[in-house]
Amino acid sequence: MTNDTAPQSKPRPAIARHRAALGGTARVPGDKSISHRALMLGALAVGTTRAEGLLEGEDVLATAAALRRMGVGITRTTDDDGNGVWQIDGVGVGGLHAPDDVLDLGNSGTAARLLCGLLAGHDFTAILTGDDSLRARPMGRVIAPLTEMGVQTSSRDGGRMPLSVTGTADLLPIEYVLPVPSAQVKSAVLLAGLHAPGKTTVVETMATRDHTERMLAHMGAALEITETDDGRRITITGQPELNPAEIHVPADPSSAAFPAVAAAIVPGSNVYLPAVGMNPARIGLFDTLVEMGADITRDNPRETGGEPVADLRIRAGSLKSVIVPASRAPSMIDEYPVLAAAAACAEGTTVFEGVGELRVKESDRLAAVEAGLAACGVAVWTEEDRMVIQGCDGPPPGGGEIAANLDHRIAMSFLVLGLATENPVTIDDVRTVETSFPGFIETMCGLGADMAANSTEQTA
């Protein structure tokens, strides 16, 4: 697999500026979290899983490439409309083969952490690595519970990649209380628990996204979920056979956040986003925008493959500041950078509480957002695990040159802000945008945005 975000490739700057209202329909890419899980659980099923709507960004393609290296047959065809249809020929629980090379996961923390769970029950060694950003991210949170189960690992200082994982056919079931809310750690333990005899339990005191649980149940895993005084207990009975499934991946709410916020902050805008995933553990951003005064309607609510879906219409409106509580962070942890763009345009002072987790994402997102907003003339400061943004009650000055730090969400968030500022906003590098939102700039331009890469010229 070619990694276009490798350090030796040439930076690709981009620019965004305010021109006119946004309007029309945009089909955002498939949900990244569900796409990763469709490939991984399809690989562990007995039979052939068929997935439509899969995100075909670099992160998900890295997962597909890693699974192929371990003996999983994965092919892509197209339907009559030219959309991708993926077929995963599962090898069964415990059926992966030792890879013949290092598994390069590019920029994807989800792929890295969830694959550790898959590898846990296999009696071979695999080495995981990634790009500069991924190699800087700590893996200790996922290493700790897997070590309790009998997995052996070796990593750089701080639990950083490259990471060697040696699984075992004699994996131990455990009960593990998540020290911090993390769907990735929870999922890794549950995936490892598939390979362990008996029952493995994860306890989360604060609910996180539950795509893994939903898909496991959809594919026939023995799963028990109970709400207790100590938190939500998820118990999986190990060593089952998973059933292959038809999976229709909804549009990613984290990707939909970018055109949604753009429509909310650019005056006169009216944007329609069909078939967006409405998983309650993922829609904190939309709930917050509504609290701020955004005009968002949810049409045609339905369920697809165990996941709730709806069509969203977003119209521009006057936004007011809010206090976003720490309890909402797990449902929108990836959306704070683009919410910061909305807060910059709002009236009053917006506060994000309990967002320390943003310091250990693809970049230190708290630092990146603070630096970027300040460069665009917005008053902002951080206090330990909270961020405070003084809104401009209209268009911020803009004019900033933003360092994306190889972080796709920082790049897209400030391009969205640039659509509402008085002066253009420039991003130093948008290569990593393809990891989660292929064709992002083209999609936004299709809605009328003035946005371009590798050029400072006004778009036509």
List the structure tokens of 325. Answer: 């509580």
d(CA 385, CA 156): 26
Annotated catalytic residue within 334, 407, 429, 450: 334
Q: What is the DSSP string of 252-315?
A: PHHHHHHHHHHHHHSTT-EEEEEEEE--TTT-HHHHHHHHHT-EEEEEEEEEETTEEEEEEEEE
Contact 172, 189 (CB under 8 A): no
Q: How far is CA 441 from CA 251, 268, 375, 434, 454, in A?
A: 17, 20, 22, 10, 11
Total Cβ atoms within 10 A of residue 110: 22
Q: Residue 85 is which amino acid?
A: V
End-to-end CA distance of the chain, in Å?
Answer: 35
Instruction: Give the whole-angstrom CA distance, residue 31 versus residue 67.
Output: 19
Q: From CA 425, how far away is CA 420, in angstroms rounded?
A: 10
- CA dist 351 and 413 (Å) reads 18
Calpha distance 85→68 (Å, rounded): 17
Find the Cα–Cα–Cα–Cα dihedral 276, 253, 9, 139, rounded to 10°.
-140
Question: Does 334 qualify as catalytic in the annotation?
Answer: yes
Nearest one of 216, 248, 219, 269 to 19, comparing CA atoms:
269
Contact 142, 188 (CB under 8 A): yes
Token output for 62: 């890295």
DSSP string, 198-247: SEEEEEESS----HHHHHHHHTT--EEEEEETTEEEEEEESS-PBPP-EE
Q: Are 106 and 435 in contact (CB under 8 A)?
A: yes
Residue 190: its H or E element: helix 183-193
Quote the CA–CA distance of 379 and 369 in Å, as a whole number.
11
The one-letter code for the residue type at 200 is T
Catalytic residue IDs: 334
